[in-house]
Chain A
Amino acid sequence: MSQLQETQQTWRSGLRLPAIILMAGLVLFAPAFVGSYSLHAVVIAMIFLLPALGLNLLVGYTGLLSLAQGAFFGVGAYASALLSIHFNTPFYVNVVSAGLISGALALPLGIPALRLRATSFVMCTLGFIVIGQAISKNWISLTRGDMGLSSVPKPYFALGPWSFSVVSTAAYYYLALAVAGLAILAFYLIVRSPAGRNMIAIRENETLAEAVGIPTWTYKLIVFVLSAIFAGVGGSLYVHYLTVVSPLTFQMYYTTTILIIVLGGGVGTISGVVFGSILFVALSEFLRVAPEIRMIAYGICLLLIVFKFPKGFAPVIDKVWSALGGQRA
């Protein structure tokens, strides 16, 4: 190794810490220098990260493709809206309840659905969205049908005599950041546990996983419920941010966005999905400047990404990371 290369390597190896500090700084102080519209896009991205993490657990770790994430997202949104409208419950109660209600609903749906094999399972989860939409449209006494629920209160926190309401986009940014951070931590702990290793085993070869004693069906059910909890929490965050929810939440658009974040970002990785949620949601928001060609442009971008980065962005992120550490990527 020449001296120059060596110097370069030592010079570059010191870049990881500054990169982390820079990123942390950007994340923490974003509201100070990012325009309000961009900040809004980032909030939406962080909200979509939640159902995407849940889907990643299913697709990326357990090898199950589900289209029901949008449905559980919608259930979480409605549950949260109804609770706060009818019972005036505080935000943290709504967000936890939304996760639990979505998870509880996933249990009876998962039991029969997970008996099915791959393609039939996908069809079955598609059915859940259709049913969700039908219920939200037609159970008018509860959901107000197509009108949807509006004036969902912005989150407020009450602790003894103090109360605090999250109204501005900047404040909501920090709230979403905290929830997204906790979700990433939870996700990380799940996939790094021995159970996470069993999930990968199921993805790799289900029969072999059975042969080494793994009760594959039980794991799949647990993961399906966990993924719904992630989606439900995301839905709650969504409805308290926009303050409205309607049957449109059960449209395929939401499910496809979640799917694109995971598949385009990097299946089975954390960094890829985080990056994917920012990129794809930001891209979609950015393209609103040209509404006539928005969806076409979005589609073309997707095609480019699929051909250019077939494994998502996770390998690119890994490369940058090793380069910053001074290793040759």
Chain B
Amino acid sequence: MTMPAILKIEQISKSYGAVKAVSDVSLELQRGEILGLIGPNGSGKSTFFDCVTGLGTPDHGRVQLDGTDITGWPLNRIAREGRMLRSFQKTVVFSALDVEENLVIAGQMFAFDSTRATFGIGTETAAIVEELRIRARELIKLTGLWDVRHMPAGKLSGGQQKLIQFASMLMPKPKVILLDEPMAGINPKLIEQVVEAIRYANTQLGISFLIIEHNIDVVTSLCQRVIVLDQGQMLAQGTPQEIVINPLVREAYLGG
């Protein structure tokens, strides 16, 4: 008997006025899998991500995370209770705060059981924050940000900010991570570093990934399976090797 999928998305649709951004897209992310999502610009990938992670609500469809129906949950609840985290296409960090604070914040809502508990002032609260700080430092070392850990995150390069974002997502020990173009705008050397970080999180921490990415080399090396979206619909799915030779995909996306 096979294990049920960790993330099961059924027939998601989303329209903006007359424009159908996403229509009837379904997919299953298996436990421990890295699944790629590719397609031309405007094919509905980010809208699809938003619908799945609670930043937007789908017009139709259902999202199940580890057996729980999370359709319609807001972003913060999906992150907190579902332990499914996402990144953004345009990298965002808490600019005025240093790298360590960025990571501590990313872990807080998981370390305290309620909003009320975060108002605590006692030694117990301080101990929890100290634990978060220790974990933050481990992840800072892991992502190679040690030397800049006390710098304001907004002062760092785009690539370093991507690493902060990635490290932040590892703070709560998530089940699933959705990455929206993790390699966009970063230099080749750093691409290697991010690929390694994703691979580490996948194999060592058992996190499943759904990744939107345009860099086809990265997709081929990381993903076990790839899904292609075009004009809001699923065009093809298969292994990376099958996808790169699929004539439909070559015509719509990869070119010639």
Query: Taking beta carbons and an 8 Å cutoff, which residues of A are in contact with B?
Result: 189-190, 192-195, 197-198, 200-201, 204-205, 207-216, 218-219, 222
Contacts and interface: CB of A to CB of B under 8 A. Distances in A.
A210 B74 contact: yes
Contacts of B75: 207, 210-211
Contact of A207 (B88, B109, B120): B88
A198 B171 CA distance: 15
Given A193-B120, A193-B121, A201-B105, A213 B115 contact: no
Nearest to A199: B118
B80 interface: yes
B85 A198 contact: no
Given A208-B94, A212-B105, A213-B79, A194 B74 contact: no
11 contacts: A194-B108, A197-B101, A201-B105, A204-B97, A207-B55, A207-B88, A207-B92, A208-B88, A213-B108, A213-B172, A215-B115
B113 to A, nearest CB: 12
Contacts of A201: 94, 97, 105
Given A201-B105, A204-B97, A208-B92, A214 B129 contact: no
A222 B76 CA distance: 17
Categorize the interface residue count of chain B: 35 or more
Given A195-B119, A198-B108, A218-B115, A211 B86 contact: yes
A195 B105 CA distance: 10
A195 B76 contact: no
Contact of B94 (A190, A200, A216, A222): A200
B76 A216 contact: yes
A156 to B, nearest CB: 32
A190 B116 CA distance: 12
Contacts, number: 93
B207 to A, nearest CB: 16
Nearest to A204: B94
Given A205-B92, A205-B94, A213-B172, A190 B115 contact: no
Contacts of B74: 210
A189 B53 CA distance: 34
B130 to A, nearest CB: 11
Q: Is the interface of A mostly helix, strand, loop or mixed?
A: helix
Contacts of A207: 55, 75, 88, 92
Nearest 5 interchain pairs by C-beta: A213-B80, A213-B109, A213-B79, A195-B118, A204-B94
A110 to B, nearest CB: 15
Contacts of A214: 76, 105, 108-109
Contact of A198 (B118, B120, B121, B172): B118
Given A193-B119, A219-B115, A208 B93 contact: yes
Given A204-B95, A212-B168, A219-B115, A197 B104 contact: yes
B77 interface: yes
Contacts of A195: 115, 118-119
Contacts of B253: none
Contacts of B168: 212
Interface string B118-131: 11110001001100
A209 B118 CA distance: 15
Which residue of A192, A207, A209 has the most chain B CB atoms within 10 A of its CB atom? A209
B120 A194 contact: yes
B76 A215 contact: yes
Contacts of A213: 76-77, 79-80, 108-110, 172
A287 to B, nearest CB: 35
B96 A204 contact: yes
Contact of A211 (B88, B95, B101, B125): B88
Contacts of B77: 213, 215
Contact of B118 (A193, A211, A216): A193
Contacts of B80: 213, 215
B90 to A, nearest CB: 10
Contacts of A190: 119
Given A194-B112, A194-B125, A205-B92, A210 B118 contact: no
B106 interface: yes
Contact of A210 (B79, B110, B129): B79
